[in-house]
Structure 1
Amino acid sequence: MPRVRKNDDYEAKSQAIMDCAAVLFAKEGFPSAKMQDVAKACGATKSMLYHYFPTKDDLLFAMLKEHLERVISGLEEAVTTPGTARDRLHALVLTFTQKSIQSRRRHMVAMQDVKYLPRAKQVPLNELQRRVVDLVAQVLRELNPHLPEEAYKPYTMMLIGVLNWTDVWYRPGGPIKQAELSERIARLFLRGFLAEKS
């Protein structure tokens, strides 16, 4: 049996802490949650928690950075999908919903709690969020390249808004499966967006 490297163990424990914290932050709200609450939820001591994340801000920052980087990696792959621009939109919507469903609590925290971080920690996260916006806009420009440039930002934000808030109501165990949900979102959006003329 291969030995678990120290770095792998450290990574696994920090991921487990972030997962526990995401559930707590989503339920209680970041301002109300305390590090002792996170430690209790994780079955850890406060001193062990501080070994991985010296402050609550560090914990939130690490959680959101890791989540956004994972979303971006998936979207970058989606926008290079072979086929048509429609194929790439479908791949992008599917990837976005998959990533947010896989990390549902982190995604909800990412939408709500960046504003609580100090400015120095907000800046890199805002840059990652802008990368998400840029990737979505890239596909929309390809889909309907004849619109005035100023039209792409509102459409991009509308689509991201639909995708973000799906987490609030969608239940993976419900009657609509994830692939069907992605298909319906893409189809609904396409019908309106492709009808737009310059």
Structure 2
Amino acid sequence: MAIFEKSQQAKTYVDPTYPMKASIENTQIVQGHTEYIIKVQNGWTKHGTIWNVYKRYNDFVQLNKEFKRQHVILTLPPKKYIGNLNQKFVTERQAALQIYLNSILSHHTLSMSAPIRKFLDIPNSVDSIKHFEDSALQHISMVLRSDNQYSLGELVPSIGWRANKQYYAVNKISDTGGKEGGGGGGGGGKRGGRGDGGEKYILSWTQ
């Protein structure tokens, strides 16, 4: 959940090309768990949009898993089961988590990726990403139907770093047109209709 430090208009736009800053300002104990209070700023100047997010260690673990799925290996401080509310330990972990955040936000590609944008509750990021996914699917389906040479396959998850770029598997459609077998492939090809020609592609769609 994000809490803004100044009143906003009905919708706040955050330019994804602006640098992001995130500093763990403090901690608090909530229902037996340590919660990290993170101050997030978008933009170079003091006039940039500022808000706070509240995260537990497990939220960082989930973020790290998202990056691992994209084969990005980062150093996250290890889990501790006993004494994790000790003030000295909390302070040390806070410093280690700050280094972890810095390593992401100082990297141009990672700082603009969907996982960190969702983690930092960037205004409208979750809604805008979902809207983009729906819009991309609709437009791609229309284009492929009009071309009539390819069929849309499944969404290819998280192979890119941009939040507003999606990848889809696309299959080449073969036209057997009632041919009775004959040479040249098809591997037991379908008769009297259109089927999968065996050629597969990755299609990207950018907002």
TM-score strictly above 0.5: no
The higher-RCO structure (CA 8 Å, 6+ apart) is: 1
Give the TM-score, by structure 2 length.
0.28
Q: Which has the higher helix share?
A: 1
Q: Please identify which structure carries the higher strand content.
A: 2
